Structure 1
């Protein structure tokens, strides 16, 4: 019997075959059609030589083919590997070699890399979603597959998905997620969020990121809702889609919320059907929460990581302002602790490392047994994130352990300083690092991007911070920059800031 994620299109098609499952660029596909396409693709992959445990890679922006590849690989017991299409050739080369991909599906954005790598890598089959590049056309390959139902048994503890971490300090690591990991992630998401069978979910955040895929998109599919896919996020297009298609939910990151609320169409936009957004990536300022409350849109916030599928904590809409800045409390089937250097739980208000345990936690890192052993020491995933928990059990993420610096004997968490900077009117983005200081050992240096037409001096920002933070937390220097360095997943590269500090 196959209870794995690959069987889910067929299971959903049995219940509501004629309901619309996916909408992409005006084209609708029902659950019956998705099931038929996934079956054909799975059979075509098997005929091409893909076996149980083989890796099938997808590198491209949002497209129905991404979900079809994910389900089809799972249906025959293969492992889907999702690759960020913003990566450059050396980065893609490393991941494809590391995972040993047997099939690579690519979008037009990766056509150039695919063309160069096809001559260098031992890949059974290259498949082009949009045409051009090496190998066959995805649609032709899919159509060549049989419609016969796939009868393969798939163990729930078998690998289903490998997602590579961003690698801000080194080579990316492939987090291995099993069918069971994904099942419990979706159960956690469905319990924690108000998703329904009549959901109209807008998938504009990257589906090649763990949260874009697993927090709302696939849980919506499991329920039988409608998923509207946008290749990339564009604020104006998203607002228009929300109005015209009567969207009810979306997963977004804070920068997307700001882009939507800054769009000229936002004040008059009819968002009356939107029940709520799931937001992750960083805590939301109170002003952002209030902006969306004025639109009657509920904001759920979450904290997680690739290694946990991603769910660790969730903050319900009713707590958004009361517990502003919090990541919330643990998901239903997840246990979290904040511990000291010896692994002992710390009392409320005392910083420590976040460790996570539960059926959603990864099986380990692909081909990295030593790093797996360190990360999963004692049966808990050690996140490297510093947090405090309040008396009510709400977690507040302070920073990454490696980003904390010590000024005059006091621990300073850059994320706290960054949040204070973001509360200053006119500050669009901020990043803080520790730099050597003869007197204090280390002190802070902030890099700030201002909103257009804002004229703020560094000293004015420092004065604002002195009203919000202890003196030792206020950066000695505030440097105005046009943009902050980011990696392919959009994370700020603090090591690049340190190198130029």
Structure 2
């Protein structure tokens, strides 16, 4: 049976070798110390009445205490529920009551956003994270670490409940098991060549699977180490990449673009960095080239909370040759592309990505209906539309939910965006859709111009001729200076769609008057 207690194993093998450095806390902890504090925390929580399967909600930025909670949960079988501290009080109330944690840890600065304990019936204990240290110092009066030998943690037991963004309704809590974390770490290590000498920087929030499972837990599995930031601070990131020992780094595309646009980028040096991993949307060639000039390769990939999350990886040697590709499936990953009838599609044809195996979630917490809808014949339906070329490289066409139908034809915004990105003067573009009296739905393009350029709707429409079928051409264009960004660092397409609908409605009202 696979070991679930990674921190404990590396404490035995590596002693107090550095595991975590928290920049904002100015603290460094080794594996042995994290293991010892994790043990003490687990015993005290057990003595307080928490058992295997009980949920521990956490409303906090990344901090060392979060890592102690992970260590304790691996030993006893607690389930961590990282909760988005940027949500409103009513949104927090929904998630807390849905997950029904017995214990809720809240970082001091977020306590005013948390509902009253009387509104949270499952919560027996509500603690500030600043008081966590008491649980590490206090010795259990009756329990010892020999208690851990009695616990049987199955590989299918959840370690996390990770809530999705809820853009199509109430958030859903994806179950993330010990088995998923193990195979994700194996896959990631094989593709990236992680060893106990590697060091990463984590600046993605902990309520997002990317914060935990793109790089951090794979590093722990291989005995590596990490620097954690409580939030993305671009100046700190530049400093750390220059002076820290960071060898591999995950950034979402928005972060990469922000760094390229920063005044420090041209003179910045990254002496230890091997490559940057990114995913979520395809990077323009110009961004890849800018980092290449710095001697840094970009490794694009693709994943999702419910699967892995690391599903595909594109080796940096293919970054230019296969621009726009998410690469090939990771080692222990079962995938296929299917049409609406559930049949596999051929090379070059669009199909929905479905996944199966040890990396796939068993379902959603307390939501059998959503779980049932997510699977087809044992395969998890991702909702992503992909194609595969003759060499076995995969490309994201679009999220199935982003697709719209114009005049009876399916339109995938990502395809339109790629064409518009080739137009002179276009720096970035997002295509959404709005209702249309004649065609049902039509495209609406938000465009960021290159500095010094002045683009017109006619220029953009002319560029689409010869590149796209007429039904794919956006009907509406809007020049903007930037795109709204959601809480996970990705572009907020939902906000843009709402903005587009308001603009079209106002335009229609003006014409009528």
Aligned to 1:134: none
Contact between 1:61 and 1:109, CA under 8 Å: does it hold in 2? no
The C-alpha deviation readout for 1:201-232, integer Å capped at 9, x for no partner, is 11112232112211211111222222111111
Residue 228 of structure 2 is aligned to residue 229 of structure 1: yes
Q: CA deviation at 1:143?
A: 2.2
Contact between 1:274 and 1:297, CA under 8 Å: does it hold in 2? yes
Residue 31 of structure 2 is aligned to residue 31 of structure 1: yes
Closer, same or farther: CA 423–195 of 1 in aligned 2, 3 Å = farther
SS at match of 2:340: coil
Aligned to 1:213: 212
Contact between 1:22 and 1:229, CA under 8 Å: does it hold in 2? yes
Residue 14 of structure 2 is aligned to residue 16 of structure 1: yes
Closer, same or farther: CA 444–145 of 1 in aligned 2, 3 Å = farther
Looking at structure 1, the residues matched to 226 and 238 of structure 2 have their Cα atoms a distance apart, in angstroms, of 16
Aligned to 2:133: 139
Contact between 2:199 and 2:227, CA under 8 Å: does it hold in 1? yes
Closer, same or farther: CA 212–341 of 1 in aligned 2, 3 Å = same
Residue 194 of structure 2 is aligned to residue 183 of structure 1: no
Looking at structure 1, the residues matched to 453 and 139 of structure 2 have their Cα atoms a distance apart, in angstroms, of 58
Looking at structure 2, the residues matched to 231 and 452 of structure 1 have their Cα atoms a distance apart, in angstroms, of 33
Looking at structure 2, the residues matched to 475 and 297 of structure 1 have their Cα atoms a distance apart, in angstroms, of 36
The C-alpha deviation readout for 1:98-140, integer Å capped at 9, x for no partner, is 01111112224422123x33342131222222x4xxxxx1212
Aligned to 1:65: 65
Looking at structure 1, the residues matched to 235 and 379 of structure 2 have their Cα atoms a distance apart, in angstroms, of 42
1:109-148 paired onto structure 2 within 5 Å: 109-114=109-114, 116-122=115-121, 123-129=123-129, 131=130, 137-146=131-140, 148=144
Q: CA deviation at 1:171?
A: 0.3
* Structure 1: tracts of 5 or more residues without a match: 132-136
Contact between 2:180 and 2:308, CA under 8 Å: does it hold in 1? yes
SS at match of 2:98: helix
The C-alpha deviation readout for 1:181-216, integer Å capped at 9, x for no partner, is 111111111111122211121111223211221121
Looking at structure 2, the residues matched to 477 and 61 of structure 1 have their Cα atoms a distance apart, in angstroms, of 40
Looking at structure 2, the residues matched to 194 and 312 of structure 1 have their Cα atoms a distance apart, in angstroms, of 16
- State the TM-score, normalized to the length of structure 2: 0.90
Looking at structure 2, the residues matched to 200 and 489 of structure 1 have their Cα atoms a distance apart, in angstroms, of 22
Deviates more, 1:62-71 or 1:84-93: 62-71
Aligned to 2:362: 363
Closer, same or farther: CA 360–461 of 1 in aligned 2, 3 Å = same
Q: CA deviation at 1:97?
A: 0.3
Q: CA deviation at 1:334?
A: 0.7
1:33-182 paired onto structure 2 within 5 Å: 33-114=33-114, 116-122=115-121, 123-129=123-129, 131=130, 137-146=131-140, 148-149=144-145, 150-151=148-149, 152-182=151-181
Aligned to 1:372: 371
Q: CA deviation at 1:486?
A: 5.0
Residue 266 of structure 2 is aligned to residue 254 of structure 1: no
Aligned to 1:283: 282
Q: CA deviation at 1:76?
A: 1.0
Contact between 2:11 and 2:32, CA under 8 Å: does it hold in 1? yes
Contact between 1:435 and 1:442, CA under 8 Å: does it hold in 2? yes
The C-alpha deviation readout for 1:412-436, integer Å capped at 9, x for no partner, is 1011222334455665553322333
The C-alpha deviation readout for 1:3-44, integer Å capped at 9, x for no partner, is 22xx11110011111211111123211111111111111112
Q: CA deviation at 1:362?
A: 0.2
Aligned to 2:195: 196
Quote the RMSD (CA, aligned, Å): 2.2
Contact between 1:427 and 1:448, CA under 8 Å: does it hold in 2? yes
Contact between 1:56 and 1:73, CA under 8 Å: does it hold in 2? no
Contact between 2:434 and 2:501, CA under 8 Å: does it hold in 1? no
The C-alpha deviation readout for 1:152-183, integer Å capped at 9, x for no partner, is 22111211111011111100101112111111
Contact between 1:86 and 1:489, CA under 8 Å: does it hold in 2? no
Contact between 2:34 and 2:67, CA under 8 Å: does it hold in 1? no
Contact between 2:175 and 2:365, CA under 8 Å: does it hold in 1? yes
Length, aligned pairs only: 492
Contact between 2:35 and 2:71, CA under 8 Å: does it hold in 1? no
Closer, same or farther: CA 449–92 of 1 in aligned 2, 3 Å = farther
- State the TM-score, normalized to the length of structure 1: 0.92
Contact between 2:255 and 2:489, CA under 8 Å: does it hold in 1? no
Closer, same or farther: CA 467–245 of 1 in aligned 2, 3 Å = farther
Q: CA deviation at 1:148?
A: 3.6
